Amino acid sequence: MSEDYSLEYGKATIEVHMDSVDKEDRIAVVDDLIATGGTLLAASKLFQRLGAAVVEVTAVIDLPELGGSQLLNTSGLKVMSLIEFSESE
């Protein structure tokens, strides 16, 4: 199963095996960086299409000025990151 999404610099596709989760599973999706939010949103959509509940998306670094964490929140996902960096830092 696949999901296409946009990056800052183009497009990409993420894939997951259809038997990778069960309908009762609760999932935390983890990435290294939140920029535009596309990767985490696409992964979350895949798991939701398979019937799993995405309870949180997490990243090591968030670049909030690029709008990704806001997009994820607006999509109904709980977002957590360890570090946030802004242009002024």
User: Which pair of tokens denotes residue 7?
Assistant: 């990056």
User: Which pair of tokens denotes residue 62?
Assistant: 């968030």
Q: Which residue has the tokens 């946009």?
A: 6
CA 14 remoteness from chain centre = 11
- pLDDT of 33 strictly over 80: yes
pLDDT of residue 89: 65
Residue-wise pLDDT tens digits, 5-32:
988 788 999 999 999 999 889 999 999 9
Stated pTM of the model:
0.90
Q: Which domains does the chain have, with CATH numbers?
A: 2-15+22-84 (3.40.50.2020)
User: Which pair of tokens denotes residue 18?
Assistant: 């259809």
- pLDDT of 82 strictly over 70: yes
CA distance 70 to 18: 29
